[in-house]
């Protein structure tokens, strides 16, 4: 595998080259450097380039122009931009042209490692798909994965919940969707295993649960079991226009729960929704997530969601769920819009739109607000040090915490504490 570093600052290109053990860590056997677009194009002419790490502002043409040329002449090359320009327009153009990642100088060793790791995974994935496509086995081998990805994108609102957008996305993946088709979701949640298991053993039992669910819930239908996250599965069951026999489905779910308890050493609950067209399927699934949250103490039962609450009610419950999740995670530095979106199985941008419409603020702003409110409480009612309080609200760097707190309150943490501890006025 070959890497090309393109930067007009030679010392910086050399620094990137020596920053990581490329061959030992990533299997990159050749690392070359170009100082401008002309040299970069010559490098592509000499040998194949799997990954390009490139600056944007350079003499003789920009990195954006180079990326456009690379995508036209060497489309399999992945590109990571490493630049001092934080301008959103640059980042937007880069992503539109197919840039895989956008890093700002100075970049840390860990950020660079993660970006390269992501690029290598993408290169390997594309090589894998190309190999099977050339062998004529792509569809037989990968159609199930494409179908699973389609439903995950539908559930997460990565595909717009509009009938035309759904039809187009299905057509692109060669997934047949007839007019008027309805699909019934069943959320399957493993609440506990009867004995301690290694991650490998859990995966084996998860595989068994998937097979059992397929055989029990839709033995004669072309349904699909989607792995959502650890201990959560979703059955997507085609339903005729006349609807589904719910009493039969409940009985099938009860048989599935009994089998899991007896043979797969786990307690399982099922949450069944009403059949819906694909463009309404995500809302139906969201209601099942909320139903599961409200029935967390219910074990080994079948719960049925009947009727659709108003859209605002669904949004309000989602916001409440996010608030509860965030309150328990404020001490984690990794808490972010993306991690919250992953918890509720939504696309981050779509989650932001729902959240802002309901609360008037973005998810990121809400996280910052909750961190600062918790910090105010701890400063006012405890004797904990500022460093410890910063850690309690997700800041390992006390300077960063103090700066954020002052932006929020207009006072440093110590000033805020002194002000709150002043004795009341005698006037």
Where do the structural domains in the chain lie, given as residue ranges?
Answer: 2-133, 147-308, 310-427
Residue 120 is encoded by which pair of tokens?
């290598």
Lowest mean pLDDT among 11-25, 75-89, 317-331: 75-89
pTM of the model: 0.52
**CATH classification (class only), 2-133:** alpha beta
Helix or strand run (H / E) with residue 386: helix 386-392
Task: Specify which of 19-28, 122-131, 221-230, 293-302 reaches the highest per-range mean pLDDT.
Answer: 19-28
Mean pLDDT of 361-377: 93
pLDDT (tens digit, 9 = 90+) per residue, 376-410? 999 999 999 999 999 999 999 999 999 999 999 99
pLDDT exceeding 90 applies to what percent of the chain? Answer: 39
In the predicted model, what is the mean pLDDT of the chain? 85
Distance CA 294, CA 3 (A): 51
Please give the pLDDT value at position 142.
Answer: 55
- Residues in contact with 190: Cβ distance below 8 Å, sequence separation at least 6, in sequence order: 206, 209, 231, 232, 260, 266, 267, 268
Architecture of domain 147-308: 2-Layer Sandwich (3.30)
pLDDT exceeding 70 applies to what percent of the chain? Answer: 90
CATH tag, 310-427: 1.10.10.60
Distance CA 410, CA 166 (A): 48
């Amino acid at each position: 595998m070959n890497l090309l570093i393109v930067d007009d600052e030679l010392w910086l290109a050399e620094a990137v080259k020596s920053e990581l053990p490329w061959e030992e860590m990533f299997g990159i056997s050749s690392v070359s450097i170009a100082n401008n677009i002309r040299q970069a194009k010559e490098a592509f002419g000499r040998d194949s380039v799997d990954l390009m790490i490139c600056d944007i502002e350079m003499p003789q043409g920009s990195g954006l122009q180079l990326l456009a040329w690379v995508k036209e002449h060497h489309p399999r090359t992945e590109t990571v931009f490493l630049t001092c320009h934080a301008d959103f327009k640059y980042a937007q153009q880069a992503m539109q042209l197919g840039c895989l990642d956008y890093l700002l100088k100075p970049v840390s060793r860990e950020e660079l490692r993660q970006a390269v790791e992501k690029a290598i995974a993408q290169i390997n994935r594309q090589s894998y798909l190309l190999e099977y496509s050339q062998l004529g086995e792509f569809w037989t081998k990968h159609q199930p994965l494409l179908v699973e990805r389609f439903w995950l994108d539908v559930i997460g609102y990565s595909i717009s919940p509009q009938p035309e957008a759904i039809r187009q996305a299905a057509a692109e993946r060669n997934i047949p969707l007839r007019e008027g088709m309805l699909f019934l979701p069943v959320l399957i949640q493993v609440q506990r295993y009867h004995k301690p298991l290694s991650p490998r053993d859990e995966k084996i039992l998860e595989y068994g649960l998937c097979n059992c669910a397929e055989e029990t819930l839709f033995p004669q239908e072309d349904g699909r079991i989607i792995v959502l996250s650890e201990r959560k599965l979703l059955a997507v069951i085609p339903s005729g226009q006349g609807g589904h026999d719910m009493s039969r489905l409940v009985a099938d779910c009860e048989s599935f729960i009994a089998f899991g308890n007896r043979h797969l050493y786990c307690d399982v609950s099922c949450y069944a929704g009403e059949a819906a067209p694909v463009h309404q399927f995500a809302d139906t699934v969201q209601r099942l997530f909320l139903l599961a949250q409200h029935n967390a103490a219910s074990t080994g039962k079948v719960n049925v969601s009947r009727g659709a609450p108003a859209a605002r009610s669904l949004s309000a419950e989602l916001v409440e769920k996010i608030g509860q999740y965030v309150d328990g995670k404020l001490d984690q530095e990794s808490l972010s819009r993306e991690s919250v979106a992953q918890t509720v199985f939504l696309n981050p941008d779509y989650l932001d739109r729902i959240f802002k419409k309901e609360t008037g603020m973005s998810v990121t702003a809400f996280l910052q607000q909750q961190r600062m409110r918790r910090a105010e409480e701890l400063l006012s009612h405890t004797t904990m040090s500022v460093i410890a309080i910063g850690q309690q609200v997700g800041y390992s760097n006390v300077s960063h915490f103090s700066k954020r707190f002052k932006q929020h309150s207009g006072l440093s943490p110590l000033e805020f504490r002194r002000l709150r501890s002043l004795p009341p006025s005698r006037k």
